[in-house]
Copies of this chain bind each other. A is one copy, B any other.
Amino acid sequence: MLTIFRGESTHKMDQKGRVSIPADYRRIIIEENAKVGKELDQNTLVIVFGDNRQNHLECYPLTLSREIHENIKSKFPRGTPKREFLDNFFETKSIAVQIDPNGRMLLPQHVRTKAELGSNVCFAGKGESFQIWNPEKYSQRQKELEAMFRDDEVISNPLVLLE
């Protein structure tokens, strides 16, 4: 089974903030959540909207969000600046949403506003997470990524960077 979020696609969002989650993403979320047993809701995903430097939504299965949480707790004692920063970023600036019976999720108004989402949104698979973007911001970011390494470094194949 595929456990890596892949590909890019565009979906409609209605006035209430309902968006279909790509079917393959949906399957991965449910499958990942099932791994840790049924004590948590398998239809739940966590969406991090982050601070002002982030202009997209970062989406995780509940399981991975817990991993991040445990990681933060184990590395940074309560009360330290990094701990507070990370708690704020990953917990305060996030929400948990449910996959509804039609395979959609509901994005609350403040989250839509924060990520500047309108009637069309872009999904982008990023391996263990996926992102949701305003289409213009997305293509802007794509250009930035493309410009990140010069032609003579990447030549025609980014695999050289793995050497």
Say how many copies of this protein the assembly contains.
2
Q: How large is the interface on A (under 10, 10 to 19, 20 to 34, 35 or more residues)?
A: 35 or more
Residue of B nearest to A39 (CB): B1
B91 touches A6 (CB 8 A): yes
The yes or no answer to A86 lying at the interface (CB within 8 A) is yes
A133 to chain B, nearest CB (A): 11
As a 0/1 sequence over residues 121 to 157 of chain A, the CB contacts with chain B under 8 angstroms (1 = contact) are 0001111000000000000001001101101001010
Interface residues of A (CB under 8 A from B): 1-2, 4-9, 24, 39-41, 44, 46, 50-54, 62, 66, 68-69, 71-73, 75, 81-82, 84-96, 110, 124-127, 142, 145-146, 148-149, 151, 154, 156, 158-159, 161-162
